[in-house]
A and B are shown apart, each in its own frame.
Chain A
């Protein structure tokens, strides 16, 4: 076989390999369904948040390199107003030896009462060094988010909230609304820092899903005020701590409350 024929054959074989990988990518969820799930004993946080936890807003965006929209799948929408609350989940979807990473997921159990309008959940993964802060993809391929819709009457105001300022350095220092309890290791600091290094950076490493059969994430909208969802991770570095963003699209009544519990789920 001469040189040209060998080059041609190698091109064909490489093309077949690439095609096979694309097919594997598309059918991976069917071919490799998640195995048994094992919830690691122990709740990572179990805290209740009130209306006073909404420390930011009204605003139309959430932090990213460029401002991200809040409604899953949508960009920044001018005529919306959202109030934001950041919650340290004291959890990461990675466990085990940090040098031999074992991916799992974080199960978030929520109970909301007196919710008015839409509440959108997003997540951020805090990183170290030059690695950009992770977050779930807002728009485009594999975008995801979790929305709960309530029917309580709207409140009159959100006195604790002030608008978050756009940062020219693409770095945001946000206050978390957790109770600062000493029994949660590393939870005594009141702020967390998000760093975004380039357009689109950090998106796509974390996913929000209601079922681990869809680890790429999905957009879920539900009227269930009590439920669970998962934060899954793909990619090389999903971050070492998760921050949950809860955004509501109108002032909440005084009786609003949100209970959040987090657990690590190992997938085998």
Chain B
């Protein structure tokens, strides 16, 4: 009887889980005193893009988002508690989609920048949507949303660029390969 091969191998699950844990660790240890909306995206998106760029399978980003969301909820990283899950899932999901659309060439600086920026923006949109859902009037939410979008875009993009450079170095060093063999 043939044994059904799991979608993610054990090594892939371990890698993706480590990336998810790294997001939570970075969030708790790095407290940059920038006070600019979305500045945490500069390191938040890096493990997700690296995880997706290495595993190269649809669902890898969502898996990272799910695990990091559960961890963030358990550790109480921000005031949204269980709703954190949606924020992290959105971040992972959008990077998943972009990784798929870019043929998993997330080591390319442009692709990395776009994936990071889009991930950070998705996080922002879900965050604002949740706050509206929880009763904060939309009139208050949209104040400064233009500036917040631009800063999320820039910081997420820079984080994506860093991830792309790391992936490119791993490729060059032969630690990972561009195509599966």
| Chain A interface residues toward B at CB < 8 A | 3, 6-7, 10-11, 14, 17-18, 21-26, 28-29, 31-35, 96, 99-103, 130, 132, 197-198, 201, 215-216, 232-234, 267-268
Contact = CB atoms under 8 A, between A and B. Distances in A.
Interface in B143-173: 143-150, 153
B102 A215 contact: no
B79 interface: yes
Given A102-B136, A197-B33, A268-B137, A216 B143 contact: yes
Contacts, number: 97
B10 interface: no
Contact of B147 (A25, A32, A232, A267): A25
B121 A103 contact: no
Contacts of B139: 28-29, 32-34, 215, 267
Interface residues of chain A: helix, strand, loop or mixed (majority): mixed
Nearest to A94: B136
Interface of B: 33, 35, 79, 81, 98, 101-103, 105, 108, 110-111, 114, 117-118, 121, 134-140, 142-150, 153
Contacts of A201: 35
Given A6-B102, A99-B81, A28 B149 contact: no
Given A14-B117, A18-B153, A100-B79, A24 B143 contact: no
Contacts of B138: 28, 32
A31 B153 contact: no
B141 to A, nearest CB: 8
A102 B140 CA distance: 11
A11 B144 CA distance: 22
A147 to B, nearest CB: 23
A18 B149 contact: yes
Contact of A34 (B103, B137, B149): B137
Given A32-B139, A99-B79, A102-B136, A26 B146 contact: yes
Nearest to A1: B101
A234 B140 contact: yes
Given A18-B150, A201-B35, A103 B142 contact: no
Interface residues of chain B: helix, strand, loop or mixed (majority): helix
B144 A25 contact: yes
Given A14-B153, A26-B146, A7 B81 contact: no
B106 to A, nearest CB: 11
Contact of A103 (B101, B108, B118, B137): B137
A10 B140 CA distance: 29
Contacts of A96: 135
6 contacts: A7-B111, A11-B114, A28-B139, A31-B142, A96-B135, A103-B140
Contacts of A233: 140
A84 B145 CA distance: 35
Given A7-B102, A197-B33, A201-B35, A28 B142 contact: yes
B136 A103 contact: yes
B110 A24 contact: no
Nearest to B147: A25
A14 B114 contact: yes
Contacts of B79: 99-101
Nearest to A13: B118
Contact of A25 (B35, B111, B140, B142): B142
B149 A10 contact: no
Which 5 A-B pairs rank lowest in CB-CB distance, beginning with the nearest? A25-B146, A28-B142, A22-B146, A21-B149, A32-B139
Most buried by B among A11, A14, A102, A216: A14
B145 A24 contact: yes
A216 B145 CA distance: 12
A3 B137 contact: no
